[in-house]
Structure 1
Amino acid sequence: MLVAVSDAYRERREDVARQAGTLVEALQRSAAVRPSAGPLTESLLGEAERGLRRQFDSEWGGFGGAPKFPPASALEFLLRRHHRTGDEETLAMVTRTLDGMAAGGMYDLLGGGFHRYSVDERWLVPHFEKMLYDNALLASAYLHGWLVTAEERYREVAEATLDYLLRELRLPDGGFASAQDADTDGVEGLTFTWTADEGVPAELLRPFEHGRSILRGALDEELKQRLLELRERRPKPLRDDKAIAAWNGLALAALAEAGHRLDRADFLLAARELAEFLLGPLSDEHGRLHRSWRAGRARNPGYLEDYADVANGLYELHVATGELRWLREANRLARLAVELFADAENGGFFLSPADGERLVARKKEFDDHPTPSGNSMLAYVLLRLGRIWGDDELERLAAGVFRLIRDTLGQAPSAFGHALCALDLYLAPPRELAVIGSPQDAIAQAALGSFDPDAVVAFGPAEEVPLLAGKDFVDGRPTLYVCERFACRAPVTEPSQLAGVS
């Protein structure tokens, strides 16, 4: 092949140069996605929801057939739609999928956490690798499912999934490893599967391969602990101990929100230490993110998704702790992302930074499966920060993302789950909650205790944050201000007063 290339270049140099130029032009055209001139309206969300209904597997949950990947972002969108419309059929798509995924197989009934995907339509036989990003996203989806339905099983799955992250993927420096391998000693699923003579009730065993079986069904706590103790004596799969900034940002968001909502101090401690890791070892001296870290060394400039996911995680850490540092850092990173990645001509954001390696064409990515794209996540972050800072330019930049994918949202809604969440927020009536106090105060807990995806939240006092400027304690008491584009109702200090302002 190399000889042929050499001969072609030597003997037909002009033809090769012309073909190379044509290829470069084609790549550049394909990278220049043009914005739609169509309006951004509620009808886009309804069309996407109908598309998901058509793809929905009513028996096992999820969308489409085998293999099945966990559709965390699509479920988050449907929870938002149910919040908006009250449609119980929409909620049923979510609960059927949450139930199916957690039945056992793709979900680890003993140790918590989800394997990467199911090779069948039943969520039974998984590819046994466990990814940090899947578990972070699914922990949040189950947490939100619990908030909406009060189904205790969803809370348990969310908590067990994050316990798995702390136990198996956490690194000594505060970050999280990327994945746990599928195989042990060269055998896929060896650690996670069972033989008939290991004391597992027969009704819980589902055939896998090589005489081994997968656990599925209800386990009481005593049986669960006994089997887990047995399993812990086995060799474990190897771990990919590379820490990727974007995936750690997803974990930060999940740990922070769950730590606050579930009153888990260990989750919040891990979230704070993770934030310090992201802003310390995983950042350079100028405050820019690296892409990855391993064995004490950070490598490569961060991509768009790194900035977007970490900024989102830092915002969630602010909401969970009330500490202003994290809100300021979220704002700094999001605005830095605009500077590094924005496309001023067509809107949206490039994958690589403007001062990065020179490429034939800078790409944009919009696919939210299996993780939110950098474009959809940054749009979501910019909308939230834009409403806290009163910055219409940030909202305009977010809308630029939606215009690039507007005409394809309804065609493949399962591929744009997080973009649909962000568009839903964009179209929702603005709702800003300025809390003067801490998340532990009774007024804050009452205001933030339910599933309220339209609300953006900031804790103060802090004069330099526009939403918080001029707001203080009332009679020395923690106070809530409910606002719409900075037009605020009378401040509230008692949870009993919330009904009149929500």
Structure 2
Amino acid sequence: MNRLASATSPYLLQHAENPVDWWPWSEEAFAEAKRRDVPVLISVGYAACHWCHVMAHESFEDPAVGGLLNDNFVSIKVDREERPDVDAVYMTATQAMTGQGGWPMTVLAAPDGTPFFCGTYFPRANFVRLLESVTTAWRDQREAVLQQGAAVVEAIGGAQAVGGPTAPLTAELLDAAAEQLAREYDSVNGGFGGAPKFPPHMNLLFQLRHYQRTGSVRTLEIVRHTAEAMARGGIYDQLAGGFARYSVDGHWTVPHFEKMLYDNALLLRVYTQLWRLTGDRMAERIAAETAGFLLDDLGTAAGGLASALDADTEGVEGATYAWTPAQLVEALGTDDGQWAADLFAVTPAGSFEHGTSVLRLARDIDDVDPEVAARWRRVRGALRAVRDLRPQPSRDDKVVAAWNGLAVTALVEYATLTGDAVTAGAARDIAGVLAERHIVDGRLRRVSRDGKVGEPAGVLEDYGAVAEAFCAVHQLTGEGRWLTLAGELLDVALAHFATGSGGFYDTADDAEKLITRPADPTDNATPSGLSALVAALVAYSALTGEPRYREVAETALATVAPIVARHARFAGYAATSGEALLSGPYEVAIVTTDPVGDPLLLAARRHAPPGAVVVAGAPDQPGVPLLADRPLLAGGSTAYVCRGFVCDRPVHTVDDLLAQLA
């Protein structure tokens, strides 16, 4: 029976024709395991995952393996991006049992969902031996199996426990976090740590705000060096823009080729803010190209942005992207082909597999003569045209609420800095999809696809990232509805996700009950639910003048202050909000008849302190608290600047405004 055929998840649809009798995650699947008195196989992955594809080809497409599973297990397939709550619970179990985690994740559990064996990728022979051994143990040693499961549940319950020490997130603590990052910084290659190397976007956002507050040259240099190393490396698509998930080496050369929406959204913010603060031309170019990648490559026909581009093309990782010197000459001719080989570091030996190379930028093209820049653009366009004729990676086109929220915030920041109407319109349209499709009966749904909203309930990161996005669109448009929507989502989050001790669970109190209720406060590939919510609370409080939301944010940050102190690399988004609170954040209202191009507005956006909110429009716009009771003085545009609910005198000139923002 094909139970996956109607799934909204492209990952589940990839497995719909397997000989394995898959069930989606459901109460019915566990009831069936209980009825048959067999264990459960829970297989967790996502559509763009290379090793998920490998295990599928080796095992789940094999009729013999399918028969073994169907006879002895109830098999459940889970898209980790649709059900991050399920993924979080069993990832904690996997890490507790093995010391590491990753995808595909392979969990064997009792019919009540209690895990007793966990792992990740298994080659076919190992997987078959595992299934045979578990079948025997379930029949002959069940009590020992169940005892092991109980011990795992106890361990993960402790790992997910809420409460614990708290401390204010002070300037001293944030300075110490910046110093810790400086000690862990790779001064040769940029970034932090070794292979595999992930773009440290949230740490870079924190460091940029720390630089704004402190003027630390060292902090800024870490950001600039890392940003340039990534942009020139193979992890960045030199032809089409967009960043891959990570590099398999420590120097950004060979990527794991999947491109994720969340990485590119967060990196768009990094390069936009780096450009805003320094005028760096490389950062300006990468921001523009990354914004273009989001809209051109991830935009969906039904609205919203797709989750990812696959790592594989027709089962081969990186096949779309790699080149040989001969292929460059064939595409461009001898002169341009040899020039491109030098520019993109394509050698006969190759940097990837089978003598092929991943394109990386070996020469500067942002500060060169116009003739060189024109040649680069021409060569780049020609190679892109040739590459577009190759087979292309598949796309996971489900729309994830949290990741689209991150993208909206990034696109708004880019649009407000550049004045680009296309990007601004796209941000508003995507926000509209989230508001009109993903909010059902006042609650967020996690995913949609082809215009149809899915069943999975939104988790905390969805509420935080979408509320922050609505606050951003409110500032972009001056329309009150977005602020109202943000407040409604935040009120739901405060009512249904709070722990009672200042922190937050990742799932609502009325969500499906799992073997434990996840509550992970650390920032990893994306902001934690807590960090995302705090960012939205800080912005909303500044935009509305309601201090209780700020107080909730400060209390929540106090619960993660020990993580900031000890493990700064895993608290970058929380630290970013900490910098905003230290700054004020500033609340800037520009009362004007030109809410698009007023010089006061442009200056406020260009020179905004960390976390500042900026709104422009006519006096007393409905639903816009920052414009309430603030008239045009002396008949001209007027700037009102407040900080932490304390206001300066109104000003009319750019110079006076900049003095107040300094």
Higher relative contact order (CA 8 A, sep 6+): 1
Output the CA distance in 2 between the equivalents of 1:145 and 1:328.
Answer: 31
* Structure 1 residue aligned with 2:355: 211
- Given the alignment, which residue of 444, 448, 452 partners 1:297? 452
Paired residues, what number?
496
Q: Secondary structure at the match of 1:368?
A: coil
* Structure 2 residue aligned with 1:43: 172
State the shift of 1:137 in Å. 0.7
Q: Secondary structure at the match of 1:407?
A: helix
Do the aligned partners of 1:71 and 1:369 also contact (CA within 8 Å) in 2? no
Unaligned runs of 5+ residues in structure 2 are: 1-133, 330-336, 366-375
Counterpart check, 1:458 vs 2:615:
yes
Q: Secondary structure at the match of 2:588?
A: strand
Do the aligned partners of 1:66 and 1:120 also contact (CA within 8 Å) in 2? yes
1:142-291 correspondence to structure 2 within 5 Å: 142-198=271-327, 199=329, 200-201=337-338, 202-203=341-342, 204=344, 205-206=346-347, 207=350, 208-217=352-361, 218=363, 220-284=376-440, 286-291=441-446
Output the CA distance in 1 between the equivalents of 2:196 and 2:152.
Answer: 34
Q: Secondary structure at the match of 1:398?
A: helix
Counterpart check, 1:443 vs 2:600:
yes
Output the CA distance in 1 between the equivalents of 2:309 and 2:247.
Answer: 16
Deviation readout 1:174-209 (Å, 9 max, x if unpaired): 111100011212221111111221223332215211
- CA pair 265-2 structure 1, distance change in 2 beyond 3 A: same
Counterpart check, 1:479 vs 2:649:
no
Q: Which moved more, 1:133-142 or 1:482-491?
A: 482-491
Output the CA distance in 2 between the equivalents of 1:475 and 1:67.
Answer: 59
Output the CA distance in 2 between the equivalents of 1:314 and 1:445.
Answer: 21
Output the CA distance in 1 between the equivalents of 2:423 and 2:512.
Answer: 37
State the shift of 1:142 in Å. 0.5
Do the aligned partners of 1:319 and 1:439 also contact (CA within 8 Å) in 2? no
Q: Which moved more, 1:297-306 or 1:333-342?
A: 333-342
* Structure 2 residue aligned with 1:91: 220
TM normalised by structure 2 equals: 0.71
Output the CA distance in 2 between the equivalents of 1:393 and 1:316.
Answer: 20
* Structure 2 residue aligned with 1:372: 527
- Given the alignment, which residue of 529, 546, 569 partners 1:414? 569
Output the CA distance in 1 between the equivalents of 2:528 and 2:282.
Answer: 29
State the shift of 1:50 in Å. 1.4
* Structure 2 residue aligned with 1:70: 199
* Structure 2 residue aligned with 1:495: 654
- Given the alignment, which residue of 573, 581, 586 partners 1:426? 581
Output the CA distance in 2 between the equivalents of 1:47 and 1:66.
Answer: 25
Q: Secondary structure at the match of 1:75?
A: helix
Counterpart check, 1:56 vs 2:212:
no
Output the CA distance in 2 between the equivalents of 1:21 and 1:57.
Answer: 42
Do the aligned partners of 1:174 and 1:270 also contact (CA within 8 Å) in 2? no
Q: Secondary structure at the match of 2:326?
A: coil
Counterpart check, 1:79 vs 2:208:
yes
State the shift of 1:447 in Å. 1.7
Deviation readout 1:218-248 (Å, 9 max, x if unpaired): 4611211121121122121110111111111
State the shift of 1:19 in Å. 7.9
- Given the alignment, which residue of 310, 313, 316 partners 2:472? 316
Q: Secondary structure at the match of 2:443?
A: coil
Percent identity over the alignment is: 40
Output the CA distance in 1 between the equivalents of 2:641 and 2:567.
Answer: 36
* Structure 1 residue aligned with 2:162: 33
Output the CA distance in 1 between the equivalents of 2:166 and 2:417.
Answer: 41
State the shift of 1:497 in Å. 2.9
TM normalised by structure 1 equals: 0.93
State the shift of 1:2 in Å. 5.4
Kindly report the root-mean-square deviation, in angstroms, between the aligned alpha carbons of the 2 structures: 2.3
Deviation readout 1:99-150 (Å, 9 max, x if unpaired): 1000131111110111111111111110111111111111110011111111
Q: Which moved more, 1:400-409 or 1:106-115?
A: 400-409
Aligned AA (1:44): L
Higher radius of gyration, 1 or 2: 2
Output the CA distance in 2 between the equivalents of 1:210 and 1:309.
Answer: 42
- CA pair 439-348 structure 1, distance change in 2 beyond 3 A: farther
